[in-house]
A and B are shown apart, each in its own frame.
Chain A
Amino acid sequence: MARERATDGEKKPMRNVIVFAIGRNLYALELRWVHEVVSLPYVTRVPTAPAGVLGAVNVRGAIVPVIDVEVLGGAPAPGRPARPGDGAILLEVDDAPCAFRIDNVEEVTTLHGERRGRLTDGRGRDIAIVDPEEVVRRVAAEPPGRGGPRAG
């Protein structure tokens, strides 16, 4: 099967990805980023944090922020709060460990035919490619949460 599409694949880069769902949206993250997929323990709220930060969790003694990748989609309201038992992908971006909250893992696969940050899988589903560096950058650039301390 791979050979049949080889001509296609040579032109467009192939990606080993993990495909996950948040609500109805599908996302693909390159496997090289993924440390492991876990279910979240107790999530501590982090008041004043940017909207993309859903909280902080203890991962083997380290404090790791839980991040909502949908901040990329420009959703005005942050997604639902993260809860213990939710799925999450642990990864590290620029020495910054973080956890992306997910609803569930769809598959681990090879996809190609990227167009403007999006892919279409074998079943014709539209999948957004997640660039974790971009996610972390955007989260950091977000204004502080509404609970942020205001001077004056």
Chain B
Amino acid sequence: MRGDADEGSVREVFAAEAADNLATLKDEAATLEEKRAAAANLREGAALVGEHAIAHAAADLVERGASAGGVAALEARVYERLIRPTDVEVEGDLESEEAGSLRRLFRDEADETLERIATTLAELGDRAPGAAVLRELMRMTHTLKGSAATVQLGAIGEASHALEDAFDALRGRGDAWSQRLCDQLVELVDALRAAVSVGDRATQNAQIDAFYGLLSRLELPRGQGSHATERGADGGASAPPALSLKQRDAAVLRVDAKRIDSLMDSVGELAFDRTRITRRATEISQLATDIDRARRRLPAPARRLEGAEPDEAAREAAEILADLESELDRQLAALRQASGALLEDADALRRTGKALQDGLTRVRMLTVSSLFRQLAPQLRAMARAAGKRIRLVTSGGDTEFDKAVATHVIDALLQLLRNAVAHGIEPPETRRARGKPTEGRVTIAARQEGSTIVLDVSDDGAGIDVPALRRRFIERGAWTEARAELASDNEVIQALFEPGTSQRERADSLAGRGVGLSAVRESVARLGGEVQTRSIPEQGTRFRVRLPVTAAVSQALLFKVGGDVFALPQSYVVETAHVDATSLPRHLNTRSRTVPLVGLHQVLEAELPADARSLPAVVLAFAGKQLAITCDKIVGPREIVIKQLGPILSTLPLYAGGTISGSGKVQLIFDPAELVRIAFPEGAGPPGAGRDLRPR
């Protein structure tokens, strides 16, 4: 709408008027009445062009009189929204990386604070907050305002201020409190959280507009609390206590998670390197055995000479052979010792790498409560959208787990919550009829069991209607009647996790379009976890998600060869190309050079796709060498969780590890070092190449 020509000119007019009005407000000669009129004018103009933030700041001045601080805030708003292009960051010196991370810290902290505010409000329900609770709410918003100012996020600061005012207006006005007001306030806080969480200006402004939109609909008691007077007393230049960012105990470090992730990636590569070294050392000791076997054949001619009448030349030859023999023995012993030492070193490397990995994992451990914080506002939004009253109960917030796991499970948990809201919790009327409290209850409980995190997402809703599911599977043609009849209840529930099943009759925005639970199972399976379901009719449903406490996540390129999917660490992939499938050349010309082409079908003993004219090829670089490998089809880049192959399979040089696909299949990860060896056989030789190492 703002793009309209008319709309544009209206904004221009408003901008010009705003400048005049601001001048009046700053003019010391202007009367109070003139200032009030200017502010009112600004408020109306701003409301007309949909600038809720400006309208709110102006309204503040109309009601409370033009304090210097208030005018400055209003001016900043106008300046930011109308005069400057919105995509330019206002902050000059905050562009540095340091400032960026300071802002991320602010976001974390603001997120925590706002969730505390939202939870406090949500717990009130229809009971009006006492003076102490309001004071605490105001304290929290006030701190937030200060923090926002520190990191120069003025708009967030002002919105916090507006929120603080809203709480202030409620002091001593318990009569104005209602469940509805409580819900509106929670929604308002969630809107501010949404604004805090986004990084780019334009989106943030849109979120802040949404915030003021909600604020303008808030039914607050008229009149002022004492807060405004307090602010008037210090001339409006109130300096809120800025904040814990600086006061925080120096012994506790807040580090950007990305830095730790990249360290973690390096540690992961270290594990690959170590496996390679072990393999080489084993090869060397095998080589020693081979040489030893050859040596045993060596002294035979020398011994034959002993019995006969040896001539000078033969004796000399025998002596040389004997010398050579003992020399070879010494060298063999040295070689064995060296390979043994190498194996020990590799083992030491493994231990150090493990310690490093464990340490880093501990560093990036999150408490489950941080997960709860992200889930809570989403659940509230879902409940609002569905018109249901739902209370979230959490427990086990202290449980710790790897951030990598947390990031990858959050969508799955959201889906389970969506499920609870859409299918679990009944509409209030139904609940009343069933003798349940009208407010539904969703519980997320976390606990650790050994190296597993158990997350229970349960609701006290209707439970899963198994007979209805049986009927629906038949109607859809997914199951035969016999199968539906024979399947146990548990099997029917399990079928919900298959792709293409949706419990709802009609797809709606809340509970997916038949992708919901299958996506849950998929993302949990990728992490190496599982989901169990228990449901009791009319009592509720419990989804139990078991996850490993830690996970090694990495970027990889996935591709298909002979029906199976394989992976290659993305960091080694240079580009992808196509080759002629009918002739399969031995080399591939890339943009910059000619590289050897390895036919993976041959290496893996797989059939070439029947009628393919051209095959995709992946160009990779490792240890300064480039090569290309053919495949059937490139699946694409994916984030994968790397798993060890275990003692039996890890002896295979071709693989660096494995991963589990979304459908629970094992996929193997190639070791680029071995691919290089196949492409450049003259380089580092395989065990059988010992011939070349004859002492000279």
Contacts and interface: CB of A to CB of B under 8 A. Distances in A.
Task: Say if A and B assemble together.
Answer: yes
Interface of A: 41-42, 44-49, 53, 56-58, 60-65, 67, 94-98, 136, 139-140, 144-147, 149, 151-152
B646 interface: yes
Interface in B652-681: 652-655, 658, 660, 663-668, 674, 677-678, 681
A58 B644 CA distance: 12
A151 B677 contact: yes
B377 interface: no
B172 interface: no
Give the 6 A-B residue pairs with the shortest CB-CB distance, closest first.
A61-B528, A147-B605, A47-B604, A96-B647, A151-B681, A44-B666
Given A48-B654, A56-B649, A152-B681, A147 B604 contact: yes
Contact of B665 (A58, A96, A136): A58
Interface of B: 525, 527-530, 548, 562, 564, 603-606, 643-649, 651-655, 658, 660, 663-668, 674, 677-678, 681, 685-686, 688-689
Contacts of B530: 60-61
Given A44-B666, A47-B654, A63-B643, A140 B605 contact: no
Given A49-B652, A56-B666, A63-B649, 13 more contacts: A41-B664, A44-B666, A48-B654, A53-B649, A58-B664, A58-B666, A61-B530, A61-B548, A62-B528, A63-B645, A64-B646, A149-B674, A151-B688
Nearest to B683: A151
B629 to A, nearest CB: 12
Contacts, number: 99
10 contacts: A44-B665, A44-B668, A53-B648, A60-B530, A61-B528, A65-B649, A98-B646, A136-B648, A151-B685, A151-B688
Contacts of B655: 46
Contacts of A47: 603-606, 654
Given A47-B654, A49-B652, A151-B686, A63 B665 contact: no
A46 B666 CA distance: 10
B651 A140 contact: yes
Given A46-B668, A65-B649, A151 B689 contact: yes
Contacts of B677: 149, 151
Nearest to B643: A63
Nearest to A45: B564
A81 B273 CA distance: 32
B678 A65 contact: no
A46 B604 CA distance: 8
Contacts of A152: 681
A45 B540 CA distance: 42
Contacts of A145: 605
Contact of A46 (B606, B652, B681): B652
B647 A95 contact: yes
Nearest to A61: B528
Nearest to B644: A63
B654 A63 contact: no
Contacts of A147: 603-605
B649 A44 contact: no
Most buried by B among A41, A46, A139, A140: A46
A94 B647 contact: yes
A42 to B, nearest CB: 5
Contacts of B667: 44
Nearest to A60: B530
B472 to A, nearest CB: 26
Contacts of B664: 41-42, 58
Contacts of A149: 603, 653-654, 674, 677-678
Contact of B646 (A42, A49, A65, A146): A65
A96 B646 contact: yes
Q: Which of A47, A62, A95, A96 has the most CB of B within 10 A?
A: A47
A96 B677 CA distance: 28
B666 A49 contact: no
A41 B664 CA distance: 8
Nearest to B645: A63
Nearest to B598: A149
Contacts of B688: 151
A63 B603 contact: no
A53 B674 CA distance: 20
Nearest to B680: A151
A42 B668 contact: no
A61 B564 CA distance: 18
Q: Which of B529, B562, B652 has the most CB atoms of chain A within a 10 A radius of its CB?
A: B652
B645 to A, nearest CB: 6
Contacts of A95: 647
Contacts of A151: 677-678, 681, 685-686, 688-689
B660 A58 contact: yes
Contacts of B674: 149
A136 B649 CA distance: 11
Given A146-B605, A147-B605, A63 B658 contact: yes
A98 B668 CA distance: 17
A138 to B, nearest CB: 12
A96 B645 CA distance: 10
A1 B548 CA distance: 49
Given A47-B603, A58-B660, A65 B648 contact: yes
Given A46-B668, A149-B678, A62 B689 contact: no
B666 A97 contact: no
